[in-house]
Structure 1
């Protein structure tokens, strides 16, 4: 590819054309905040937090760094007074619609909104305006969905849609009433969701939470160890969370390199690594039903076959 020269915050950088400003900046140690960007997802430009000032051929404009491609001679300012002001305004609008429960939120310490609000000194404030409706989906033992905390970044919709036969999540309604809906318009129990937790693994806030770790341990409290699932050849990555020498929870890491994530793999990882794994569940007709580890892991039929074979040998 053709090399070009750009400047970001006065730093001259050699790169290739058609790349996006955000990825070039981060590769060169220049942090541009973003809530909706992920290198493995299509560029969405929804949160607007990555806006920068771009000067090219004598013209200056403000645009999103995640969806704007570099061009030779381009000069980018990522932290001008105007840009900082606009980012603070965006964060303030998000906080104005967000529940003020950071102290008790499961996502505390790993929440991107919390991180940037602290970085840009933006705080919750009292107001008489609208707030996002408090709608909770508690129907699943594996995923908790909190509509009030959703910032509509679209990451969950995109990562779910990467597996064609899934595509469970989508945007619904418009404007301030917009929300993330499930395929059958109800809840996880009545959807075709397979509880793979792809959506949870990428949510930047506390809108989608791994329910099996809820109330047990938060990110900043735990020691973490990455392990690979052994159920199939994909080898999906999970994190085992431990505290005081006890393995307490397992959470799915963001899938990459074609890894799909699945509930069976997650259950096997829990069984193998947790000291006291919770009761497993399987989805029935519109509800999750308490099950057992032989059934959930798929070993039930194997055990039956072993017992049958052993019985024949004992005859």
Structure 2
């Protein structure tokens, strides 16, 4: 299990039961709770809200030390050990960093850069892109790349897929496929609707596939020597990278996933003073990104990024307003219409997995009239993911989410390029390697099929 509830620590407060979007956690009040692995979507929200923890006073120093070793958490980490937790993969990454035969390529999701600083005492929502890149360089990763590049790549593929479905009569509405917890939920509970998912892999998996093909080519190295690591705000990304079909590069596309919290552990374990680091940029070519890539971290961001590109691809004209506030916010489910030339595109954004079931039922009964729907499992999108820094006081939660969202949009607004198709390195990868969106090469590397599971 990637997400666990430690029965030695669980007090049965049932905060995890309240937050679980799929009712996968059960148990009697004041007794240890259990996770139903068949229902669980590995979103990690239970980890975020858990209040039961190991205390030296209550449990003894030896108990706490043993728990830390059991969870593979470095000795230098002194934060509380909570009952709800996710597996820690730092040991895998440390071993790869020490292995002279491995070329380590790391990518960082957009939501990580607006939360990582919180684990080093910075204000909630601080943007730390440059410091994060510097920390990864100090940790001796060989190539410091960015998931945001792959987010731009996702828009090129997903945007063209949407246009093709709308203009050629494909399965509609098309759902986004960036969130692995949402994909897992649909496969398990509504397998008959998986044709509605975009066939695009998530940015994490696109990046992994590109690292070991195009990345190997431009760096003149053998793909078998690459060890690909992603830093994610999401616990379910650990599940996604291990899916058997995620090997289109000929190898595991992503070898290991660390959460934002785990990256903080790694930085602290190495004795790096994060706050004093001088900012550096991510490396070219696979670390160049636009504002459209960075807003993937907030709910509505994938939709907005896709619309920015779809408008210009369809019309051949510049979008009148690059900001699309109608798809921003986190109010459960919202819909809007966007005029793109002669096409009236009907779109929807779902915030939080609990809000998607009525929409799926409407789809099954023929009541849903939309072209494109974004679905994110977590309450404010990836910025509120289960792998983000833990908020020890509940009163800070909304402030943290709001600040992370504001930082994300500010980052977007301040970047010189804000549309995925304007990314020069995206243009280059198509010119030199992928050839065209939805083409033979991109289809084999960047798209996937879904598992049909019966309940």
Higher-RCO chain (CA-CA 8 Å, sequence separation at least 6): 2
- Structure richer in helix, relative to its length: 2
Greater C-alpha radius of gyration: 1
Q: TM-score, normalised by structure 2?
A: 0.24
- Structure richer in strand, relative to its length: 1
